[in-house]
Chain A
Amino acid sequence: AQSVTQLGSHVSVSEGALVLLRCNYSSSVPPYLFWYVQYPNQGLQLLLKYTSAATLVKGINGFEAEFKKSETSFHLTKPSAHMSDAAEYFCAVRGSNYKLTFGKGTLLTVNP
């Protein structure tokens, strides 16, 4: 079985500041990891995914994430926050089966 823990249900940053959203996973097999973003009352949009090809994964909108096996982490970062980044972010893991297990989400607020 696999699980995901997102540390911090709400993260607030100033515009231009570093964004760091934390995700730790548990998986009995080599994991495949995903970050999705959700804007209010909308579906989820894929930001990036890790599929074992490279530990540093670059995604859309300037986001990237680094897979660290020793720390079982897949934290999402962006060097400089924009107002448009305000949304809810979900980390997900897929283990030995096709099923995605999602974290509970982190709401990102960007202050002007």
Chain B
Amino acid sequence: QVQLVESGGGLVKPGGSLRLSCTVSGVTFSDYYMTWIRQAPGKGLEWVSYITGSGRTIYYADSVKGRFTISRDNAKNSLYLQMNSLRVEDTAVYFCARSLNYNNWFDPWGQGTLVTVSS
């Protein structure tokens, strides 16, 4: 049974930084492409970033490019999202999710971790 567990969310001031983690169990982590998707309070889903199994190919949404960095440590079965220069509009629940069959649809997802950017 695949399980994804996010951590690292919290309250941070505008301009601050935060690092999210997603620990994956139940599968060979390095085989899977992974993604981060966020959801602002009461809003819809917004894709954030994507990384292949080796980490060699990475994509970002324009809204976070240059501020966020996705990475992974396959030895630790972990996915990361380093978030710098945070803005109020980055406030959201951040979900990690696994790519299904190396395509760009995702299952399963973690439970999410809340990031609040506020002064």
The answer to whether A binds B is: no
- B contacts, CB < 8 Å to A: none
- A contacts, CB < 8 Å to B: none
